[in-house]
Structure 1
């Protein structure tokens, strides 16, 4: 309880710190923290009521509070799975302008390298990647842009130098735009959106995958339905941030993996969806995101939390 209260106090709206603004506001970017800096790659934005995709990469240095240009992606891309292993940022899948890909790339040595052997088993848009015990786990997503009837429940596992392994599918509704993170040697998945009878339905269910047992277990229902949000381990809790239902959300929720309880834990300074949250030391970082329909955020936010014990 003390840790949960600490998380709630430390991550209330007044405790988020705004850092240098993102040079090009966008959402659906891929992000990670190779080398202790926050890398934001690709994404999309709207101009004159037309959607654009970008290959731009920006790198934020928290110590100096500056954004610097990074090596551009080989092609414009948004909404790919992304994961940091060591000093390398990996991206898998995603798409642009109606195309969906399975391609994989790694940012290392000052540039992007294509990884033909690490291509996803199938093309995916809006999948979510999580790093657990040196491996990348990718869940869900859709197979065709704009066609939510192609929503999936796949779980794939990959380690550098190896091949993708198909693991037991995620139970419950097929989903995309969910939140996922690793905690205590297990993979947690929260909410998202599915398609039922041609209609989109936001989800409030939660699941945990145990790699040792190769099995999923259901968790208690969440207090809110939510999609396009983010999850991050913080102290003894998992924080669930922002997202979208009928409106764009500011609320932050703390999920206790020991009890399955979820409680309100403050707010973001701005409503944000389609964000990527990464940790550097004892701080969370996020930048950009969608703050209203077709409106991208320019904020860079830093939130402090208790390190995982």
Structure 2
């Protein structure tokens, strides 16, 4: 988000805490968490929201846990004694999520531009401030410590949640279909920070609340170039927000000079906002304060809060596509690790060449051979996180390093580095979600791995059903554990379990039309497709040709045209309007590998 100031500021959330609004919103939603399936406590999507100390009503902190695994915070407060201006906000970005802590090492304040038509981003001054640390004791309570410049001082206090974001609540999703999928009504989330590119340096935070209201903040500057902020609440969420009463809290000072009884809620005016899409809108304001005036601005979305999803139109599952082929793989392989990043898919290890590592460029329809995996494995797992690929687990093929659990591959340098902290799962799949890598296991439990701190924790399985040769994917801000097999004798399942990272709980999802294991799965923002696999639950063993898909907001799987050839142990990917089955084995329970790439285009 290298957008001038908005590389720092528009990537954060703002929270306003006037005395009046703190009373109004304090009980908007303080939920009791459902029984979690994971420990220890890690700060996740549900920790996004506004936080304050009840005895200091009139200031507080807005926190956004973002989809890249970092955090952003804005402490919305007042200047220290003797400083210019009537309001202040302290901005912190690139927060490190370290278990139950979020650490900001380089918070800032700003000054310079003037509000309105004369707004000049070139006059912006960014002023280093200090450090902010939030340590959470549960989903609704945190301890704040800070260290600022001499005038601001240092200290700490206990914070309480003021608001949660709709569909990111501690106790789980509310807008669900009868089958357990997220309903389309809950997939229009515009909770984010917004700014007008022509006014880089000021912006808005739109917070959709669980009760249907929207809390709205405008962070900006006054006529002297000092920081200013106004806030209001729309009685509704959705495509149009009308906030008739925006207020500007003033009257007190930061730190030991703070007096909640001195906070004055000064009338400011009204704001109307019409969203034209998930990422753009038009804002009209009319202030009752002459220095602010009236005007029109065009907000553009800047941030994506972890766990949120916004779908402009209800997606259609592509039932009328046709099958064709693409460039063959360099090596006939099956039971590989696979991951996709951008327009590239990566295939590593497996039967056929356990140290092979190849990259498929969908746009060029070509393959490239990359640096060998240091240790040959079949049934390994891989996930792309940032600019790296994490390769973990699998079963030994006896070549190369068979001691190290996993490695980190740098896409930029084409080099592998040992990462012994990685878990050692096998015969499932891995995926990136919200900046973390998740590794499925044959038991049905899932490892969550933080690639920045190189730590992991185990998400307990949702039920006793084993998940050998299952697929774990990220879809609509959640994890889907799909299919697989278990028991004695082995039996395939069509069950789907969905993990909500906000509530850290599992729920049942829609049953597959065909029970399967060892199949391919791939997702986009709005589409999930599974295809192929094998059935070992009855004689004769067989490969599976069938394919099915589900769209965002849909309650059930739709049957799609069968693949020309049934394969198992096969990686899958979606690039553009095409689903790829890459290699695999054409005989059930056997590594009869192929290099053929089957493509379903629509």
SS in 2 for 1:82: strand
Question: Residue 281 of structure 1: CA displacement?
Answer: 4.6
Q: Secondary structure at the match of 2:490?
A: strand
1:75 maps onto 2:382 in alignment: no
Q: CA deviation at 1:279?
A: 3.5
Contact 1:168 1:214 in 2 (8 A): no
Give the equivalent residue in structure 2 for 1:153. 444
Q: Deviations over 1:140-167 (max 9, x none)?
A: 22xxxxxxxxxx2322111212200122
- The answer (yes or no) to whether the contact 2:520–2:581 under 8 Å persists in 1 is no
2:326 aligned with 1:24? no
Distance in structure 1 (CA, Å) of the matches to 2:562 and 2:346: 24
**Relative to structure 2, which stretch is displaced further, 130-139 or 54-63?**
54-63
Give matches, 1:87-98, under 5 Å.
Answer: 87-97=387-397
1:296 maps to 593
Report the CA distance between 1:181 and its aligned residue.
1.2
Distance 1:95 1:254, change over 3 A: same
SS in structure 1 of the partner of residue 378 of structure 2: coil
- Asked if residue 59 in structure 1 is aligned to residue 377 in structure 2, the reply is no
Whole-Å Cα distance in 1 between the matches of residues 510 and 469 of structure 2? 19
SS in 2 for 1:291: coil
Gaps of 5+ in 1: 46-52, 142-151
1:203 to 469, 493, 497: 493
Judge conservation of contact 2:404–2:420 (CA < 8 Å) in 1.
Answer: no
* Range moving further from structure 2, 269-278 or 185-194: 269-278
Change in 2 beyond 3 A, CA 1:92/1:243? same
**TM-score scaled to structure 1, two decimals?**
0.81
CA contact (8 A) 1:231 1:238 kept: yes
Equivalent residues in 2 for 1:163-242 (5 A)? Answer: 163-196=455-488, 199-234=489-524, 236-242=526-532
Structure 2 residue aligned with 1:139:
440
> Judging changes above 3 Å, is the alpha-carbon distance between structure 1 residues 224 and 260 closer, same or farther for their aligned structure 2 residues?
same
Contact 1:283 1:304 in 2 (8 A): yes
Post-superposition Cα deviations, 1:92-128, rounded to whole Å, max 9, x if no partner, equal: 11122489877121221211111123x21xx322132
Structure 2 residue corresponding to 1:41, chosen from 344, 348, 356: 348
Counting matched residue pairs gives: 279
1:254 aligns with: 549
TM-score scaled by structure 2? Answer: 0.43
CA distance change for structure 1 residues 281 and 105 in 2, over 3 Å: closer, same or farther? Answer: farther
Q: CA deviation at 1:177?
A: 0.5
Mapped to 2, the partners of 1:102 and 1:214 lie a distance apart of 30
Alpha-carbon deviations, 1:46-69, whole Å to 9, x = none? xxxxxxx52122222333333222
In 2, the alpha carbon distance for the partners of 1:30 and 1:135 equals 17
* Separation in structure 2 between the aligned mates of residue 183 and residue 243 of structure 1, nearest angstrom: 20
Q: Is the 8 A contact 2:522 2:573 kept in 1?
A: yes
Q: CA-to-partner distance for each residue in 1:232-255, whole Å, 9 max, x for gaps?
A: 224633211111113111111113
The higher-RCO structure (CA 8 Å, 6+ apart) is 1
Structure 2: runs of 5 or more not aligned: 1-183, 185-312, 536-540
Which residue does the alignment assign to 2:415?
111
**C-alpha distance 69-284 of structure 1, shift in aligned 2 (>3 A):** same
Return the index of the structure with the highest Cα Rg.
2
8 Å contact 2:317–2:549 — kept in the other structure?
A: no
Q: CA RMSD in A?
A: 2.6
SS in 2 for 1:44: coil
Q: Which SS does the other structure have where 1:33 is aligned?
A: strand
Cα distance in 2 for partners of 1:107, 1:285 equals 23
- 8 A contact 1:179–1:231 mirrored in 2: yes
The answer to whether the 8 Å contact 1:102/1:124 transfers is no
- Using a 3 Å threshold, how does the CA distance of structure 1 residues 265 and 101 change in structure 2: closer, same or farther? farther
Distance, in Å, in 2 between the alignment partners of 1:236 and 1:130 is: 16
Conserved? CA contact 2:344–2:360, under 8 Å: yes
What is the CA–CA distance in structure 2 between the aligned matches of 1:114 and 1:102, rounded to whole Å?
A: 7
